Amino acid sequence: MEYLDQVNTSLGMKGVLNILLVLVFIGFSWWALQELKWENLFRRAKSPQAKLLQILLSVALGYQVARFVIDYLAWSTWFSGIF
């Protein structure tokens, strides 16, 4: 029973870490996308539709970067079995 508690705790910690990484990278994506000149892409750069697109792009980009980092961390732990 103690082993199952350890496994559940480990999975819970990984879940929290994954959520935090995704949120951090969404924030980084939002910050980075603020450097684009949205006025060149949209007729009205301050419109709700333009802001929604910025948010959606931030979420999509941030999620993909976070998944890469999470996968990279998981792959790097597999190397411990080689050496």
What confidence score (pLDDT) does residue 39 get?
A: 83
49-66, pLDDT tens digit by residue?
Answer: 989 999 999 999 999 999
Cα 5 to Cα 24: distance, rounded to the nearest angstrom:
28
Has residue 17 got a pLDDT over 70? yes
What confidence score (pLDDT) does residue 83 get?
A: 67
24-47, pLDDT tens digit by residue?
Answer: 999 999 999 999 888 888 888 788
Binned at pLDDT 50, 70 and 90, residue 7 comes out as low
- Interacting residues of 50 by C-beta distance below 8 A, sequence separation 6+: 38, 41, 42, 44
